[in-house]
Structure 1
Amino acid sequence: MALPAPLHGVIPPVCTPLDPHGEVDTASLTRLVCHLLDAGVHGLFALGSTSETAYLTNHQRATVLETVRTAAAGRVPVLAGVIDTTTARVLEHARTAAALGADALVATAPFYTRTHPREIAAHYRHLRAVTGLPLIAYDIPAAVHSKLPPALVRELAEDGTLVGLKDSSGDDGTLRRLLVALGGRTARATGPAPAFAVLTGSELTADAALLAGADGVVPGLGNVDPAGYVRLYDAARAGDWPLAAAEQERLVALYALTDTGPEADMGRSSSALGGFKAALHLLGVIAHPDTAVPQIPLSAASIAEVGRRLTEAGLRPDA
């Protein structure tokens, strides 16, 4: 389907349910997509960081995207992550995504070797020229070890290479400066709709980003409570900032489920992804809470704490 201009709303980065053997659980993934669509999300981002895409084989990536596309059935746009180290590798993923009917591609800067901004620009321009699909830049310095310069993002927006940015940098000041450079909150809210979308990947400051002029949110926690983020977004669009802030504060408390794994025992990614999947398992959305090897699974005590957080957030009223 054609992307709205700009892309907007709540676009969760879809978790990838796995079975105990590490294979994609397509039945659970289909239920998860339905769980998200029933909550009113505006798009789906398959094969991002929350999807554990770095742990998946090429065949598994294709299985995930095909399953999400089939379950979405054209109701919302499906964005496909094509994350890899080099332009040539990204192009392979992009061609597969195009063949499977992705509505847009999401790509980081090249990584492993250090890249200059001009090389990053060439990377995005080559992807756009070869695939012809709408292209969204994914700014995630913690994973790729380079920050997309705002001036470069604006340049690639103005020449039509990029249709959007998913900002997972954690640098709210730079994000605000980019939004101002793109016209600021008032112009973006009241003027002609800009073609370039700014999406925040922050679960914890979505209300602030929307107030600053962002077009949407891509929250990993949105897998667990998509309806909460839709309520937050709707309140922001209506200008009801106290209601948006109240919903954000409830979601901040729920986000504590990502820290239930002891820091001395496991990485923060294992804890966060384990928390999302444990929550989805406890909610009956997915069959297994397994994460990809070599991530360390949550203990029974940590899973019990995830359940407590769900109850506090009103997601398990009968627990």
Structure 2
Amino acid sequence: MRLPVPLTGVVPPVCTPLTPSGDVDTHSLGRLVERVLAAGAHGVFVLGSSGEAAHLSDVQRGSALRVVVETVSGRVPVLAGAIDMTTARVLGHARAAEALGADALVVTAPFYAGAHPAEVADHFRRLRAATRLPLIAYDIPASVHTKLLPATLLPLAEDGTLAGLKDSSGELGSLRRLLVALRRQRLDRSFTVLTGSELTVDAALLAGAHGVVPGLGNVDPAGYVRLYEHARAGRWREAAAEQDRLAALFALTETGDPAVMSGGSSALGGFKAALHLLGVIDCPATAAPQRPLPDTSVRTVRRLLGEAGLLPG
């Protein structure tokens, strides 16, 4: 389907369920997609950070994207992560995503080798010239070690190279300044800005962001839809209350012991443990070399789900 301009609402970055042997669990992934759509999601993002794209093979990536596109079946836009280190490698993912029926691409700056802002801009322009799909920049400096600055983004928005931005920088002040600049240049209605920071969605929407891509939206998509609808209607007190409830639930990403596992293992393990406890996915396994959550952490995840009203008791 054609990507709305701008794209608004809640676009969950779906997890990639795996079997115990490490294959993509296509049945569980289909159930997860149906669940977020039933909650009122306005789009689906596959093969992002929450989808463990960095840990999946090209075959696994293709399998996950194929399932999401087929399950969505044109009901909402499907955004596909084409995330890799270099322009040439990203081009391969972009062409595969286009062939499988994605509606837009989500792409970071080049990483590992690093890149000058002029090279980052050239990276996006080369990608845009090679595909018919809209291109959404993914600002996640904690992972790629490059911050996408307004001086880079604004010219790319103005000339149509970029259709939007997924901001996962966690820098709300920087995001607000970009939104102000977009309004001044009258680009705010043609350039989508989505926040990826689950804990400050109400503030980002108040500042002018068009929507949210919340990893926690795998676990509680309906909560983020309620938050968005409250904000859109100007019910800021209700939006803040929903945000507070989701902020408490976000603690499920922090149950892992940092002495034995990474923050990413803890967060993704928390999402998948929650989805397993909710009966959405069959297996909570994460991709290697991430470590599984211990039983004590899973019990904490269960308690947090109960406190958020997602499990009885």
- TM-score of the superposed pair, with normalisation by structure 1: 0.96
Residue pairs, 1:188-267, within 5 angstroms: 194-267=189-262
Which ranges in structure 2 are unaligned for 5 or more consecutive residues?
none
Task: Note if 1:279 corresponds to 2:286.
Answer: no
Contact 1:5–1:193 (8 Å) recurs in 2: no
Q: Deviations over 1:139-173 (max 9, x none)?
A: 00011011011121111000000010000011111
Residue pairs, 1:140-219, within 5 angstroms: 140-183=140-183, 194-219=189-214
Q: Deviations over 1:32-78 (max 9, x none)?
A: 00010000000000000110001100011000000000111110000
In 2: Cα distance, 1:73 partner to 1:213 partner:
30
The one-letter amino acid of 1:64's match is A
Q: SS of the residue aligned with 2:249?
A: helix
Task: Quote the residue 1:40 is aligned against.
Answer: 40
Task: Count residues with an aligned counterpart.
Answer: 313
Task: Note if 1:124 corresponds to 2:124.
Answer: yes
Residue pairs, 1:79-94, within 5 angstroms: 79-94=79-94
The one-letter amino acid of 1:264's match is A
- Give the deviation of 1:129 after TM superposition: 0.6
Q: SS of the residue aligned with 1:27?
A: helix
Task: Quote the residue 1:16 is aligned against.
Answer: 16
- Give the alignment's Cα RMSD to 1 decimal: 1.2
Q: SS of the residue aligned with 1:199?
A: strand
In 2: Cα distance, 1:177 partner to 1:4 partner:
24
Q: SS of the residue aligned with 2:296?
A: helix
Task: Note if 1:70 corresponds to 2:75.
Answer: no
Task: Quote the residue 1:97 is aligned against.
Answer: 97
In 1: Cα distance, 2:127 partner to 2:70 partner:
25
- Give the deviation of 1:231 after TM superposition: 0.1
> Greater shift after overlay, 246-255 or 257-266?
257-266
Q: Deviations over 1:263-307 (max 9, x none)?
A: 212110000000000000000000000000110100111001000
Task: Quote the residue 1:309 is aligned against.
Answer: 304
In 1: Cα distance, 2:125 partner to 2:45 partner:
21
The one-letter amino acid of 2:39's match is A
Q: Deviations over 1:99-144 (max 9, x none)?
A: 0010000000001112011100010001011112100000000110
Contact 2:182–2:188 (8 Å) recurs in 1: no
In 2: Cα distance, 1:181 partner to 1:92 partner:
33
The one-letter amino acid of 1:81's match is G
The one-letter amino acid of 2:15's match is C
Q: SS of the residue aligned with 1:183?
A: helix
In 2: Cα distance, 1:237 partner to 1:169 partner:
23
Q: SS of the residue aligned with 1:129?
A: helix
In 2: Cα distance, 1:236 partner to 1:151 partner:
29
Q: SS of the residue aligned with 2:126?
A: helix
In 2: Cα distance, 1:114 partner to 1:59 partner:
27
In 1: Cα distance, 2:236 partner to 2:154 partner:
28
Q: SS of the residue aligned with 1:6?
A: coil
The one-letter amino acid of 1:254's match is L
Q: SS of the residue aligned with 1:136?
A: strand
In 1: Cα distance, 2:177 partner to 2:188 partner:
19
- Give the deviation of 1:193 after TM superposition: 6.7
Identity of matched residues, %: 68
Q: Which runs of 4+ in 1 moved over 4 A?
A: none
Contact 1:105–1:134 (8 Å) recurs in 2: yes
In 1: Cα distance, 2:251 partner to 2:100 partner:
36
In 2: Cα distance, 1:72 partner to 1:202 partner:
24
The one-letter amino acid of 1:291's match is T
- Give the deviation of 1:211 after TM superposition: 0.3
Task: Quote the residue 1:294 is aligned against.
Answer: 289
